[in-house]
């Protein structure tokens, strides 16, 4: 798990890990509790590709989604 406050680089690390896992043929998803942040990721990181846009998920309520756990917006958990 990578922990830190807003702007500390958690999402940069997650996107880097996602890219590497995808290059290795793994199925990857990025799930967040922020609808606005999810929309921003879809717009910029997924630009021009509906397949890439589909990798970014919003789960608006506490708990588990797609094998990922929510960490109160302060952590990233990578499950391979």
Cβ distance 30 to 67 under 8 Å? no
What pLDDT band is residue 78 in, cutting at 50, 70 and 90? Answer: low
pTM: 0.65
pLDDT for 72 beyond 50:
no
Does an H or E element contain 17, and which? Answer: helix 10-23
Give the pLDDT confidence of 4-28 residue by residue, as tens digits: 888 899 889 989 998 899 899 998 8
> Cβ–Cβ contacts within 10 Å for residue 39, how many?
13
Question: Helix (H, G, I), strand (E, B), or coil: what is residue 11?
Answer: helix
């Amino acid at each position: 798990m990578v922990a830190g406050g807003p702007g500390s680089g958690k999402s940069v690390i997650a996107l880097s890990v996602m890219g590497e896992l995808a290059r290795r043929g793994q199925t990857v998803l990025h799930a967040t509790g922020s609808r606005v942040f999810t929309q921003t990721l879809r717009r910029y990181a997924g630009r021009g590709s509906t397949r890439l846009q589909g990798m970014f998920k919003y789960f608006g309520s506490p708990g588990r989604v797609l094998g990922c756990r929510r960490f109160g917006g302060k952590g990233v958990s990578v499950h391979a």
